[in-house]
Structure formats: C-alpha cells, structure tokens
Amino acid sequence: MTTLLFVAAAYLLGSISFAVIVSRAMRLPDPREYGSGNPGATNMLRSGRKAAAVLTLLGDTSKGWVAVAAARALAPQFGLDDSVVLLCALAVFIGHLFPVFFSFKGGKGVATALGVLVGLNPWLGLTCLLTWLVMVGVFRISSLAALTTAVLAPVYAGLLLGWGSTAIAVLVIALLLVYRHKSNLIKLVNGKEGRIGARS
C-alpha cells in the first residue's frame, strides 16, 4: 500500500502541466492550441516569450527530479527498497505524458525525462543533456535531439550503472519518449520538421 501511495503521488506530480500553468499566469494562449499543440518548452518558444519557455522547462525538469529524489530520501523511512525509486521515476514521467488533470493529453516528456535521469544519477543526466545540446547545436531540431538522446540513454545507463533494473527503467522511458514523438519522426523523414525558435 505504501508503495502504491508513493507511485500515485509521483504520477500526480507528473500530471501538473507547467506549460499550461505558465501560459495562464502570463496570459498567453493555451500551448495546446497553437504550433505543435504540445504543452512543452519548445512549443512555448512559439509564443514569443522566452521567459515562458524557460519557466516551463525548469518546472517540467524539476518535477521529474523531485519525484525521484523524494522517493529515494523517504523510502528507507517506510521500509521500502530502491525499486520504489524506479517506480516513481516511471510514474512521474507517465504522469507528464498522460496527465489526469488534462484529460490524459500531456507533453512529450523530454524535460521531465531529463529531471528523472538526473535524479537517478547526475552523471547519467549530464551525459544525456550534453548529447541533446550537441544535437540541437548542430541541427537546431528539438525532436531529432530528443530522439537521438532517447536511443542513447539506455546505453549510457547500462555503461554507467550496469545492465540491471535502472537501465531497464531508462529503456522504458526512452521507448515511451520515442512513441510520443512518432509524428515528429514522420516529419523528419519527410524533411518537414520545424527548427527551434520557428513560429507557426
């Protein structure tokens, strides 16, 4: 029962959409109604307010980290092992993708995944962040950077942490992230994917 409460709390935290919250606070259009329709930092750039994108990025990343860090800190006090940390990592990520507060229509999970990875292991998170930054710097396409990082993340996890349960959890996150980018994959193949900062 305690494990279920931990997982439920992580899912509910993940279900908080900072893109929607920031947009309402700054009196901006709903990010689900313009651009890619994705409530995430990249689409928030299309509002013309960089501050809104930054706040969304920080919020979505932070909730991933908080869910994992809180689970790790509190689990021993309730007699739980490290498996609850991995379950919470998955739960907060799934909450972002399929938020109960927003009819299960959420973002694509890049920022939240980063927060989760940093929470699991700072070196893992940093390696993935550097991969994303290099890809963005070279190609200026957020989805391509995200997909490349997703493919490499389980490999990084295995090399850094061993090919155990953590690597499996990272693999699940990576597969879900790729799934949420399926429309971007089609656009990439057709050469129609937009670049960072472009308005729609």
The tokens describing 91, both together, are 């739960």
Long-range CB contacts (< 8 A, 24+ apart) of 41-50? 41/110, 41/111, 42/110, 42/142, 42/196, 43/19, 44/19, 45/196, 45/197, 46/198, 46/199, 46/200, 47/23, 48/199
pTM of the model: 0.94
Contact between 105 and 114 under an 8 Å Cβ cutoff? The reply is no
Task: Provide the residue-wise pLDDT of the chain in tens; the chain has 200 residues.
Answer: 899 999 999 999 999 999 999 999 999 998 988 887 889 988 898 887 899 999 999 999 999 999 999 999 999 999 999 999 999 999 999 999 999 999 898 999 999 999 999 999 999 999 999 999 999 999 999 899 999 999 999 999 999 999 999 999 999 999 999 999 999 999 999 988 878 755 54
The residue type of 48 is G
Name the H helices within 26-80.
Answer: 41-44, 50-74
As a whole number of angstroms, the distance between CA 99 and CA 95 comes to 5
State the burial class of residue 73 (Cβ atoms within 10 Å of its Cβ: 0-12, 13-18, 19+).
Answer: exposed
Residue 83: count other Cβ atoms within 10 Å of its Cβ: 12
| Contact call for residues 152 and 131 (beta carbons, < 8 A) | yes
Asked if residues 39 and 106 have their Cβ atoms less than 8 Å apart, the reply is yes
| Other residues' Cβ atoms within 10 Å of the Cβ of residue 88 | 31
